[in-house]
Every structure is written in structure tokens, then in C-alpha cells.
Amino acid sequence: MALHRLIRPIALLLSWLAAAPVHAAHAPHSQPEIQVGILLFDGVQIVDFAAPYEVFGQAGFGVSTVSAHGKAVTTAMGLKVTPDASFADAPRFDVLLVPGGDVEHAERDPVLLDFVRTRSGQAKQVLSVCTGASILAATGLLDGLKATTFHNALKPMAAAYPKVTVVDDVRWADNGKIVTSAGLSSGIDAALHTIAKLRDEEAARAVALHLEYDWDPKGGFVRARMADRHLPELRNVAWPKDMKLQRLISVGDVESWRKRYRITSATPPDALLALMHDDLVAEGWQPGAAEGGHAWQKRIDGRMGRLTFATRPANDGAGYTLETAIRIE
């Protein structure tokens, strides 16, 4: 056969192979070398389990989901998901993944905790995502280890589980067998990290590239390090009973952050801001110079933190907006 007749079919074949997706090894006749078990429970966060499911599946791992009774669970967003197995008939797992979400009931469920504890002992790797770290902590498996979790859950977890060293400066914390990852999308990074540990970094990079995901093996973005971690907590303010609050925006970076709320209340803006005074002083803030007197400052990690509050009427005339801004200088 002439050479030019071979070139086009070969080129088409190579093009097809390059573009062909890597399918999850979940077909009935596949027997993947590595099996992943994903815990499901009522209140589980969708991205916490679905994103790692995709990552592990694209790596060619076998993936199955499991709940206490094998019945459908309702996620934190209301999606109903039917697992593959119950605790009683769950297959063996080389990797156990514990997602987060609304975990208040799960971290106090003795049957669920016993399952996690037992299967963690049998697994090669254990991975938690987001507040799934609190479930692992409740089993005692994180005692004496470093762990991270969703940025808003760091302080509550540290208070609830004092034997765990809770860290806020990593996207995932690797203790060898047990890896905990921060919030939501960080489960993708930690799943890729787990693939790198069980295979190699090139295998993980290949999956990330196929998923068109910008994976940083060194960790990258850490949500808990953003400037809003320095905003006052204002836990003891006697807010007006008629106040309704709607968050409009919450944006920023490591140096500055802005939050804007829509407020409806019979309490006028200046009176509302005055309610915060004692709490701000108790948290170490001192009045600063600004028009309207709604500026505060304090030293934060050796630098000056400047906090301001501003109000203005809502565009539709109903209530007003309150904007809080902080800058670390």
C-alpha cells in the first residue's frame, strides 16, 4: 500500500487516542487494581464527594459509594443520591473518602463512626474533604495529627477536638496514611495528591490535564489565609430582634476583604453601628480617624489592620446596605 494512503488513517487514529476520555472504572466487568469507597450520609456536600469521584474514576480506580443502609441520602443542596452499597455489604476499599457538609449528626452517629474507624484500619489511604475532617476527628483517628478543614470550621473543630492540631495554612494536610483537605474544591487537589502517592505525580498530572484543572502539587490557593480571617467576630452584639440580614458580596484576597449586607430594621444605621462598639473594643480594636467615626484599627501579626464600616440607603429604598472592609497594611 502506498505510504500516503497509510498516513491519513494513522493520523486519525492518533488524534482519536489523544482525545479519547479516560472513563471511570465503574463498569460491571472491570476489576481495577485500586478501589475507592466514598461515604455518603444525609447532609453530605455534593462537590465534596462528586469531584473526587470524578478524579479517581478518571485515574482508572474503581469507585463505589456507601451509606449506612444503602438507601438514598439527601445532600446539603437537596439532591438525592442512591449509594452502591450499605455498610453491611460494602466491598473492600484501598482508599476511604470521608466528605463533609452538614456533619453535625454524622460525627455523633456511633454506627457511622465505627464503620469509618474499621474501614480506615483496612485501607491504604484515608482522605477527608472539608468538614469530613470532623467525622475523622470524632473517631479519634486524628488525635495527635495535623488536620485542616473548611475555613469557617477551623476554630470550631479546634475547640471540639483539642487533641487534633488544626492548621489553616495548607490546602491539604498529609499525615502519611490520613490526608485531610480544606473546603469543597480542595477535595480535587487532595484526590490528585492521593493518586500521586499511590501511583506517581505524572499519573496525577495526566488526570488533572484531562480534567482541564490547574493542579498545584505544592498546594497553591489556601482560602483560610484570606484577609477576612481578621474580621471581628461580634458574637456578643445584641442585634435588633426585627433585623433581617442578607449577604450581597464577600470578596477579597490576603491583603484586603469587603463584605456587603442588605439590612432591614427599624434601627437606623448609626444606632446599629453603635451596637458593635463594645465587642470591637473587647476584640482589641481601637477607634481610628475616618469621616462618620466608623473606622477602627489594631496591630495584626506586626502590621496595621484598618477596619471600616459604611452604610447607604438601598437602591429600592427598602432598608440600607452595610459594607465592612478590612485592609492589612
Which positions are catalytic? 130
Three-state SS string over 217-256 comes to: CCCCCCHHHCHHHHCCCCCCCCCCCCCEEEEEEEEECCCE
Q: Give the containing element (helix H, strand E) for 212.
A: none
DSSP-assigned states of every residue in 116-173: HHHHHHH-SEEEE-TTHHHHHHHHTTTTTSEE---GGGHHHHHHH-TTSEE-SS-SEE
Q: Which residues, at least 6 apart from 300, have a Cβ–Cβ distance to it below 8 Å?
A: 230, 328
Exposure on the CB side of residue 146, measured as CA atoms within 13 A: 12
Local structure of 112: helix, strand or coil: helix
**Residue 299 and residue 302: Cα distance in Å, rounded?**
6
**Residue 262 and residue 317: Cα distance in Å, rounded?**
11
Enumerate the β-bridge partners of residue 127.
97, 179
Q: Which residues, at least 6 apart from 285, have a Cβ–Cβ distance to it below 8 Å?
A: 232, 296, 297, 298, 307
Show the CA angle centred on residue 188, arms to residues 32 and 197, nearest 5°: 55
Residue 67 burial (C-beta neighbours within 10 Å; 0-12, 13-18, 19+): buried
Phi, psi of 200 (to 5 degrees): -165, 170
